[in-house]
Amino acid sequence: MRTRIRESALPLLVLALLAAAPFLGFGEGWAMTLLARAMILAMAAVSLSFILGGAGLISLGHAAMLGFGAYAVVILDDAGITEAAVVVPVAVAAAAGFALLTGAVAIRTSGVHFIMITLAFGQMAFFTAASLAGYGGDDGYTLYSRTSLDGTRWLEDRLVFHYACLGLLVLSLLLCRMLLASRFGRVLRAAKESSLRVRAVGFDPYPYRLVAYGIAGGIAGLAGVMLANATEFVAPSYIAWQRSGDLLFMVILGGVGSLHGAVLGALAFVLVEEWLGHITEHWRLIFGPLLILAVLFLRGGLAGLPAQLLGARNRG
């Protein structure tokens, strides 16, 4: 029981800090935009961590799911529709649909091949978005207004937006955690260890993985809706393979196999980048080695840090 509390302590702390952040010096608009971006990417990272740690599916095309959600907002905005009751389901369905379609092909492979196929699909989405001249092509598209809830433009208030993002992040975490703990999740995790054994017991991993991939796509699509709202601007660069890479790195940094680790990884990436960027324009000279050191010394990623520290204390 104590380990369970200890395990949940860090993520709860982080979430509490995020909730209190507007009153702890992050109250200005630009700071909240930064945190909002971090939370949105954290949401996408959590969905990636769900399939990566939970099902062993390493996707290098996850940014495309975000992109589908964001572009759904764009297309509906261009048609004059901004009501959340329409936009959100469409975006989530579009992203999940893309995930199911591409997953149907990709999940037949594994390992490096899976990575490359998801990369391929991500690139296809990228080039398609760049050729949509009607929606700005690669110049991008500026939204006329943010998504409205019941007709009111609540999301235009920075504080409301902050808590909306936080709320969705928490919901994603809970959903993924619940799924992993369920029977569904157990099959997934067993298949990750050895699909041969799972098949021997009578389960075919393929449909489980496909469903998981679709769900992850849907969550990322929802994150995409929030991303479009955060900057009120959408461009194909959101779908570039480097952005998919960023998500992957956030998950790895946070600790593979830990959902809240993805949150930590996303926060670390966004906030450290911002902080170091102030110190010098050559901040990558510091950030690169920091990542290397994190890999070398933080086995289990950022999420494993408390355990590592406490373990060290117990020993010493």
Partner 1 sequence: MSTQLLLVQALNGLQFGVLLFLVAAGLTLVFGVMDFINLAHGVQYMLGAYLGASFAAWTGGFWAGLVLALPVALACGLVLEVLVFRHLYDRDHLSQVLATFGVILFLNQAVRAIWGTAPLQVPMPELLTGGITLMPGLQYPVYRLAILGAGLATAGLLWLLVERTRVGALVRAGATNAPMVAALGVDIRRLFMLVFGFGAMLAGFAGVMAAPILSVEPGMGDTVLILAFVVIVIGGIGSVRGAFLAALLVGLIETLGRSLMPDLMRLFLAPSPARQAGAAIASMLVYIAMAAILAVRPQGLFPVRTG
Partner 2 sequence: MMTIGRRGVLGGVAAGVLAMPAIRARAQQQGVKIGLVAVQTGPQAALGTQLRDGFLLGVKHLDGKLGGLAVQVVDIDDELRPEVAVTKTRAALERDKVDFVVGVVFSNILQAIMRPVTETNTFLISTNAGPSTFAGRGCNPFFFTTSYNNDQVHSVMGQAAQDEGYKRVFIMVPNYQAGRDAVHGFKSRFKGEVVDEVYVPLNQLDFSAELARIAAAKPDALFTFMPGGLGVNLVRQYRQAGLANIPFLSTFTVDEATLPAQQDAALGFFSAAPWAPNMDNEQNRRFVRDFEAAHNYVPGSYAAQAYDGAMLLDSAIRRVKGNLADKQALRAALEAADFRSVRGNFKFGTNHYPVQDFWLCKVAKRPDGKFQTETVRKVLENNVDPFAAECRMR
- Letter for the amino acid at 138? D
Query: Per-residue x/- mask for partner 2, residues 143 to 162, rule CB under 8 A?
Result: --------------------
Q: Cβ of residue 227: shortest distance to partner 1, in angstroms?
A: 22
Site for partner 1 in 35-74 (CB under 8 A): 58
Q: Which of 89, 207, 277, 289 binds partner 2 (CB under 8 A)?
A: 277
Q: Which two tokens stand for residue 236?
A: 């194909």
Size of the site for partner 2 (CB under 8 A): 29
- In DSSP terms, 83 is beta-bridged to 148
Burial of residue 265, with CB atoms counted within 10 A of its CB: 0-12 exposed, 13-18 middle, 19 or more buried: buried
Q: Cβ of residue 129: shortest distance to partner 2, in angstroms?
A: 11
Binding status of residue 107 toward partner 1 by CB under 8 A: no
Binding status of residue 25 toward partner 2 by CB under 8 A: no
Single out the segment in contact with partner 2 by CB under 8 A; choices: 6-14, 30-38, 103-111, 292-300.
Answer: 30-38
Binding status of residue 138 toward partner 2 by CB under 8 A: yes
Q: Which of 22, 97, 140, 245 binds partner 1 (CB under 8 A)?
A: 245
Binding status of residue 12 toward partner 1 by CB under 8 A: no
Site for partner 2 in 70-129 (CB under 8 A): none
Binding status of residue 127 toward partner 1 by CB under 8 A: yes
Single out the segment in contact with partner 2 by CB under 8 A; choices: 49-57, 130-138, 211-219, 291-299.
Answer: 130-138
In whole angstroms, how large is the CA radius of gyration of the chain?
A: 19
Phi, psi of 84 (to 5 degrees): -55, -35
Q: How far apart are CA 107 and CA 110, in angstroms?
A: 7
Binding status of residue 241 toward partner 1 by CB under 8 A: yes
Binding status of residue 131 toward partner 2 by CB under 8 A: yes
Binding status of residue 247 toward partner 1 by CB under 8 A: no
Pair type for strands 233-234 and 141-142: antiparallel
The residue ranges that bind partner 1 (CB under 8 A) are: 58, 105, 108-109, 112-113, 116-117, 119-121, 123-124, 127-128, 130-131, 241-242, 245, 248-249, 252-253, 256, 282, 284-285, 287-292, 294-296
The residue ranges that bind partner 2 (CB under 8 A) are: 28-31, 33-34, 37, 130-131, 133, 136-140, 142, 227, 230-233, 235, 237-238, 274, 277, 280-282
